[in-house]
Amino acid sequence: MNTRQILALAFVTGTCAASYAGGHAEWAGYPVEGVVYKFEVYTGLKDRWDSTKQDAPPLAPGRALRAAKQFISKVPLREDMKEWGLRDITLQTLSPDEWVYVVHFDANPKSGVWNGPVPWIAVPVRMDGTIPKPVIERKKP
């Protein structure tokens, strides 16, 4: 695989990290303990946007957010969490003219008091409004 053409997002229990190198990016978080979500985005024509010639990307942020919300509604929460809440949405460049949105969600605890990090997940949305199907792995404790 050409790392310049891949965006991999891994969501791992208890890990928070981001790294970028030559069109390749990785994010980590945890939706449910012991479950890993991995997304791969192979960039191509549908991800192109020439920001020097066009004022707006081909996909509006609102459409990207709606696609991510539809996806996140199917991601299970831990029993002590009540819902996914939007943290932010970012436009991420993978190369000078290849882009994806990354929509970050945090879980909201059922109780008002919470110590430590809450589960979170980042969902990539391509410029055509699609979300790559993640590989979901169950890790043994």
- Residue 11's Cβ-side half-sphere holds a number of Cα atoms within 13 Å equal to 27
Per the model's pLDDT, the better-predicted residue between 21 and 119 turns out to be: 119
Give the CA angle between residues 13, 122, 89 to the nearest 5°.
150
Quickly state the pLDDT bin for 60 (edges 50, 70, 90): very high
- Domain extents for the chain? 3-138
The whole-number pLDDT of residue 114 equals 82
Ordered DSSP codes for 56-123: S-SS-HHHHHHHHHHHHTTS---TTEEEEEEEEEEEEEEETTEEEEEEEEEEEESSS---SPPPEEEE
pTM: 0.79
The whole-number pLDDT of residue 3 equals 36
Q: Give φ, ψ of 59 to 5 degrees.
A: -115, 125
The whole-number pLDDT of residue 6 equals 37
The whole-number pLDDT of residue 27 equals 52
3-state secondary structure of 27: strand
Q: What is the pLDDT of residues 86-129, one digit of tens each?
A: 999 999 988 888 899 999 999 999 987 888 888 888 999 999 99
pLDDT at 63 over 90: yes
Q: What is the pLDDT of residues 23-55, one digit of tens each?
A: 445 555 566 777 878 887 777 777 889 988 999
Quickly state the pLDDT bin for 17 (edges 50, 70, 90): very low
Cβ atoms within 10 A of the Cβ of 64, count? 24
Q: 109 burial class (0-12, 13-18, 19+ CB within 10 angstroms)? A: middle
What mean pLDDT comes out for the span 9-26? 40
DSSP 8-state symbol, 47: G
Query: Measured between alpha carbons, how far is 136 from 97 in angstroms, rounded to an integer?
Result: 29
